[in-house]
Amino acid sequence: MKALVTGGSGFLGRHLVAELEARGDSVTVMMRPSSAARRESGEGVLACDLRRPPEELAASLAEFDAIYHLVAAAGSGWREAFESNVAATENLLDALTVAGWRGRFVHVSSFAVYGTNQLARGTTLDESTPLEPEPGRRDNYAWTKLLQERLVRERLGAMDEVELVVVRPGAIYAKERRFQYRLGRPLGEHVVLMLGGSIPMPLNYVENTASLLAECGHNPAAAGETFNAVDPSPPTQRAYLKAWREADPQLKVIPFPLWVYRLLARALERAEERSGGRTAPAAFLQPYVMEPSLKRLRYDVSRATALLGWEPPVSAGEALRRTFPSSSESNTSVSRRDSSSQL
């Protein structure tokens, strides 16, 4: 199979390329012309900046049997998020329409598209959970990822020869992306402010995410389906940080009670209302933005197994061991860059 991976030089993209090559696919990575990244394996490169309308891209797409759309921006301003997540996707879809492309399109969405604020604590979140009804109140990433998924469904749903598969990963992690937004906040190097502690985090080990994406590109039963990507038995914040501290004794965890955080955030929200919006708090202190990361939910992860016969190749325990091998084997500093990444 000939596969094109947009965002193939990124964190998840590199693992997906390796997975597809292991399955015998011929892989081409779409990269910005200005990118300094160099491919270490044998796949080709298609130079294209999707943020700008490509004039000749349509002709280049005909040869591909499958397209994996991973391009996304997280932790950026609204303009960059919109250009990378929405405008770039629209340009790609325009090119597919012009080319009359036919094949399997695997779109990587996100858990951020779900209307988590509207769910009661303890609710089981699965692929049938309603999407966010008020995206304008969420952060730039959630807002633009929801627009992106809607755009993909509307445009590709009108193309009879295209098989669309949507995959919504939770928080993707690995050795190179240890800090997760759902933990709380990093305070410099080796310090984490933990909001709560007992909340299960919908984590998905990066190799498991890549394996599911590749399966969705190959398995005929995936056509037209939506799959959540979350590892079984997700760890709580406290369990995740325990594994981290065992690997890195320098790591300091500062617990912050969730009820205190919520009390502070709501007080600031009321102050904003009284000021007519002139004293808006940072996103970190806006309840509607943060609650999706802090709400205790259950996660049904059975759909991919039931429909595709797929199982995560890396167990939860092994994933944690690979992520936190030992203090002598890896750099364990907390990275603000990682903290802003959700894909």
N-to-C CA span, the chain: 25
Residue type, 240: Y
Structure tokens at 183: 């933990």
Helices (H), ranges, 76-198:
78-82, 88-99, 140-157
Amino acid at 167: V
Q: Is 205 a catalytic residue?
A: no
Range list of H helices, 158-285: 206-218, 237-247, 258-274
Q: Residue type for 254, please?
A: I
| H runs (alpha helix) in the chain | 11-22, 57-61, 78-82, 88-99, 140-157, 206-218, 237-247, 258-274, 287-294, 303-308, 316-323, 336-339
252 C-beta neighbours (distance < 10 Å), count = 15
Report CA torsion sign: 19, 25, 30, 31: positive
Q: Which amino acid is at 6?
A: T
Helices (H) and strands (E) in the chain, counts: 12, 14
Asked if 13 and 27 count as a contact pair (C-beta separation under 8 A), the reply is no
Q: What burial class does residue 193 get, using C-beta atoms within 10 Å of its C-beta: 0-12 exposed, 13-18 middle, 19+ buried? A: middle
- Cα 141 to its chain centre, rounded Å, is 10
Give the integer Cα–Cα distance in Å for 109 and 287: 23
Catalytic pick among 68, 114, 141, 261: 141
Nearest alpha-carbon partner for 132 in 113, 150, 148:
113
Catalytic (active-site) positions: 141
